[in-house]
Structure 1
Amino acid sequence: MPRPAAPRDVYLQPGDLHFAGVGTRIRTLLGSCVSLVFWHPRHRLGGMCHYMLPTRGMPGPKLDGRYGDEAMLLLLEAISARGTRASEYHLRIFGGGNMFPNVGARATRHVGQQNIDMAHQLIARHGLVSHGEHVGGTGHRHLIFDIWSGQLALKQSPLVADSGCPTGVQPA
C-alpha cells in the first residue's frame, strides 16, 4: 500500500504505547527498553509499546505501559477492541540493549536482558509467535513502523566510547 498523503506521526516515549490503522507511523528510540510491534497484514492495523521494566510485580489499579507484562495486556486489549485476535498479527521484538556494559558485575543480567526475557515469556504465555527480533547488544535503536505497509525501519547507533557520559549519549 502506498504511503498516505499526510501520515500521522506518533512518537513513543518510555512507557507509551499506540495502536492505530492505516495512515499512522509510530517511531521511538530504544536503549535498554523493549518495543513489541504488532501488525495485521490484512486489516492494516498495528501497535507498538515502549516498556522500561519487565514487571512491577503487583499491578496497580490501572495498567501501566512502563512495564512489559502490563504493556502486553494493553496491546491485547486494543487488538480485541478492533475485533481481531492477537494470533492474526505479525509480532516482532526490538531493543533490550546493555546501556552500561562497563558497569557492574558481568554475571548480572542487565535490565535490557531482563526486558528481552520478559518479551519472550509474554509471547509464550499468550500463545503468540515472534516473527523476528533485533535485541541485545549495546547502543540505541531508532525504530520506525509504518502501519499502512507493515514496513519497519531500524537504525542502531553504537555507544560512544570514553565520552565521559555513562550512556554514551553526547550532551547537546
Structure 2
Amino acid sequence: MSAVPDIYLGIGDLHFCAAPARIRTVLGSCISITLWHPVRRVGGMCHFMLPGRNRRPEQALDGRYGDEAMAIFDQEMARYGTRPADYRAKVFGGGNMFPDRPQTGPKLDVGQRNIEVTHRLLAERGIRIIAEHLGGDGHRKLIFDVSNGNAWMAFQDAGEPTRRRK
C-alpha cells in the first residue's frame, strides 16, 4: 500500500493533480482556492498573496497573484480535458493579520481585496463555491484531499493567545 503524496504550498505555489494527494498550506491575508472535479477526481489548490499586478505579455504567469493563479488553473483544467463549470470550489483566507496595528493612512485591506477578486474570478468561470471561510482576524491551516474533495481547516484568531506546550 503506497502513501498518499503530501504537498506543501508556500506563497505563490499551485498544485493540480489526479487523486490521490493531500495539499496543505498556512494562510493569513493570502487566499487558497481549492478546485475539485467530483467525477474525474482531479483538482488542486493555490496560495496567492495579492489580487493582481500589471503583467506584461512577455512575463510568465506568477501564482502569487490571484488573477494569474486562476489563469494557471485554467491551463490545468484544459490539460485534463475538463470544463471549469464542472468543478466545485472551496475558498479560505483573507484574514487581517494585524487587527490592533494603528492605521496611519488609508487602510490597505489586502485580505478583503483578495476575497473580492476570488469571488469575481470564480463567478466569471461559472465555478460554484460550496464552502468558504474568509476574513476575520487571524490565520488558518488548511489541508485539501484531492481524492474526495474534503478540506480541513483550523483557524487561530489573532485575539486568542497562542497555546504553548511545556
2:9, 2:46 within 8 Å by CA — same for their partners in 1? yes
2:86, 2:127 within 8 Å by CA — same for their partners in 1? no
Alpha-carbon offset, residue 106 of structure 1:
9.6
Which SS does the other structure have where 1:13 is aligned?
A: coil
Alignment gaps of 5+ in structure 1: none
Alpha-carbon offset, residue 109 of structure 1:
4.7
What residue in structure 2 maps to residue 22 of structure 1?
Answer: 19
Which is worse superposed, 15-24 or 108-117? 108-117
Alpha-carbon offset, residue 159 of structure 1:
1.8
TM normalised by structure 1 equals 0.86
Matches within 5 A, 1:84-123: 84-103=82-101, 104=103, 108-123=107-122
Alpha-carbon offset, residue 129 of structure 1:
2.1
Which SS does the other structure have where 2:29 is aligned?
A: coil
What residue in structure 2 maps to residue 34 of structure 1?
Answer: 31
What residue in structure 2 maps to residue 132 of structure 1?
Answer: 131
Q: Percent identity?
A: 46
Alpha-carbon offset, residue 105 of structure 1:
6.2
Alpha-carbon offset, residue 134 of structure 1:
0.6
From 54, 58, 68, the equivalent of 2:55 is 58
* Pairing 1:13–2:17 present: no
1:49, 1:71 within 8 Å by CA — same for their partners in 2? yes
TM normalised by structure 2 equals 0.89
Distance 2:112 2:81 in 1: 33
Matches within 5 A, 1:144-155: 144-155=143-154
1:6, 1:23 within 8 Å by CA — same for their partners in 2? no
| 1:76 alignment partner AA | D
Which SS does the other structure have where 1:80 is aligned?
A: helix
Count the aligned residue pairs.
161
